[in-house]
């Protein structure tokens, strides 16, 4: 897959070279890296040929960005981040700290209505390969580990003894806690149940952080602010949507 990605990027460079040497590679990266928890919003590549360095800059939206077109019942939930982003946010911020000076040259967090992450990768030529190979290897390794850590986080939450018997969609649960109207198929949950579920998400997220980062890395300001935000999370008072809302609408239509 690394060789295939390298081939695609080199092909685009030969076809669409611009005056400043940057190429829009958003579409091929979306095809390869988009999933239920992240979306490549924009990607630009600079490559000037064999023997020269290269870089790739990506702006990646999280689930709050993916869900942006959908209905909301609460637009005012404040805080540093959105609960629906946790499954992708926690692994990525951990990776941003762990991969400093290791392929990932620059990283930043853009917060607004939806959280976006800015990732800049650099490739350098060596005696054995062109800079494009080192660049694509760094990008692929980062994104693959991001997916892997997200899956580890989600599967660990699902196996948590406190909630293991609950059979529901955790992404949809976290969407509701972020103010998005739950889909009609999502069974409504009581406040105590939602509080317990959110607590287990927080505990599991903090466990992942401490398992993939060393002590020095956990003291990074990005991680400390993330953990502080997790510790302060509380459920919304009430979530709109689910079967309850559907039944209410149906009963009103009958009347």
Dump pLDDT digits (tens) for 8-24: 888 887 776 554 578 89
Q: Convert the pLDDT of each residue in 56-100 to its tens digit.
A: 999 999 999 999 999 988 876 667 899 999 999 999 999 999 876
CB 64 within 8 A of CB 84: yes
Low-confidence winner among 33-47, 64-78, 131-145, 222-236 (lowest mean pLDDT) = 64-78
Q: Using alpha carbons only, how large is the chain's radius of gyration in Å?
A: 21
Mean pLDDT throughout 50-58? 84
Say which residues have a Cβ less than 8 Å from residue 246's Cβ, sequence separation at least 6.
Answer: 184
pLDDT band, very low/low/confident/very high, at 5 (cuts 50, 70, 90): confident
Mean pLDDT, all residues of the chain = 87
| Per-residue confidence (pLDDT) for residue 111, from 0 to 100 | 79
Low-confidence winner among 100-104, 118-122, 178-182 (lowest mean pLDDT) = 100-104
End-to-end CA distance of the chain: 58
Mean pLDDT throughout 186-203? 95
| Per-residue confidence (pLDDT) for residue 102, from 0 to 100 | 67
| Per-residue confidence (pLDDT) for residue 44, from 0 to 100 | 94
Q: How far is CA 93 from the centre of its chain?
A: 9
Residue for token pair 């400390």:
224
Give the CA angle between residues 32, 36, 42 to the nearest 5°: 50
| Per-residue confidence (pLDDT) for residue 216, from 0 to 100 | 94
Distance, CA of 174 to CA of 86 (rounded, Å): 8
CB 18 within 8 A of CB 5: no
CB atoms within 10 A of CB 216: 8
Distance, CA of 45 to CA of 48 (rounded, Å): 10
Q: CB burial class (10 A; 0-12, 13-18, 19+) of residue 155?
A: exposed
Candidates 57, 10, 58, 72; CA nearest to 239 is: 72
Please tell me the pTM assigned to this model. Answer: 0.88
Half-sphere exposure of residue 81, counting CA atoms within 13 Å on the CB side? Answer: 29
| Per-residue confidence (pLDDT) for residue 127, from 0 to 100 | 56
CB 66 within 8 A of CB 80: no
* 46: phi then psi, degrees, rounded to nearest 5: -125, 120
Candidates 161, 180, 151; CA nearest to 90 is: 151
Q: Which residues pair with 109 in a beta bridge?
A: 117
């Amino acid at each position: 897959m690394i060789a295939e990605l390298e081939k695609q990027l080199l092909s685009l460079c030969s076809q669409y070279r611009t005056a400043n040497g940057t190429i829009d590679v958003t579409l091929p990266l979306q095809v390869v890296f988009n999933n239920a928890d992240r979306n490549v919003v924009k990607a630009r590549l600079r490559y000037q040929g064999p023997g020269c360095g290269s870089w790739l800059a990506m702006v990646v939206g999280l689930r709050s960005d993916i869900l942006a077109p959908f209905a909301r019942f609460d637009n005012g939930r404040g805080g540093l981040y959105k609960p629906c982003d946790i499954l992708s946010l926690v692994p990525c911020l951990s990776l941003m700290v762990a991969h400093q000076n290791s392929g990932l040259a620059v990283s930043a967090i853009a917060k607004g209505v939806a959280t976006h992450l800015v990732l800049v990768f650099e490739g350098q030529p060596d005696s054995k390969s062109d800079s494009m190979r080192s660049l694509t290897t760094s990008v692929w390794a980062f994104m693959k580990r991001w997916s892997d850590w997200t899956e580890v986080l989600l599967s660990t939450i699902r196996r948590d003894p406190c909630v293991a018997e609950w059979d529901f969609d955790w992404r949809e649960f976290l969407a509701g806690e972020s103010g998005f109207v739950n889909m009609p198929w999502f069974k409504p949950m009581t406040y105590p149940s939602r509080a317990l579920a959110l607590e287990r998400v927080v505990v599991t997220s903090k466990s992942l952080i401490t398992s993939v980062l060393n002590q020095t890395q956990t003291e990074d300001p990005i991680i400390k602010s993330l953990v502080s935000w997790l510790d302060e999370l509380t459920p919304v008072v009430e979530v709109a949507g689910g079967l309850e809302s559907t039944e209410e609408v149906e009963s009103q239509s009958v009347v």
